[in-house]
């Protein structure tokens, strides 16, 4: 059985009214993603901060479960990384045979990079939106 390709396209600082079907902005590419994929129209973040929200997205845990309480790259941060033993879905997908590619902002841990957490290719940058792509590795 072929495993499906998985593309996660996550934009930053975007509220619901800024994309289809609620937006008046002309966004044909994002609109196409919404029409051809799955959109979460009733989703909420666990934190107003970027880093704990990302850590929750990747781990499936609340900040109390993963340990990232506020943004990791600031002087007054409460923590700079995930608790020991916290596993991210990228690690599970990698173990299941997916080739994991990461592009964009990481902001999950100051200590770990995407390639420490299951991603085999990492093009993270502070200047681009984050995109996660998982494709199944062919079995030879």
Catalytic residues: 50, 107
Determine the distance from the C-alpha atom of residue 58 to the mean position of all C-alpha atoms in its chain, rounded to a whole number. 6
Tell which residue, 120, 72, 109, 110, has the closest CA to residue 87.
Answer: 109
Q: Are 90 and 132 in contact (CB under 8 A)?
A: yes
Distance CA 8, CA 20 (A): 17
């Amino acid at each position: 059985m072929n495993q499906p390709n998985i593309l996660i396209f996550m934009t930053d600082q975007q509220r619901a009214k800024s994309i289809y079907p609620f937006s008046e902005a002309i966004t044909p590419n994002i609109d196409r993603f919404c029409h051809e994929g799955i959109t979460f129209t009733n989703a909420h973040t666990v934190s107003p901060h970027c880093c704990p929200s990302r850590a929750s997205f990747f781990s499936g845990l609340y900040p109390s479960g993963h340990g990232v309480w506020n943004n990791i790259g600031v002087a007054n941060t409460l923590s700079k990384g995930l608790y020991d033993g916290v596993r991210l879905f990228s690690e599970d997908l990698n173990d299941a045979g997916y080739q994991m590619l990461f592009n964009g902002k990481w902001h999950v841990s100051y200590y770990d990079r995407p390639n420490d957490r299951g991603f085999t290719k990492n093009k993270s940058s502070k200047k681009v939106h984050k995109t996660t792509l998982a494709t199944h590795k062919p079995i030879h």
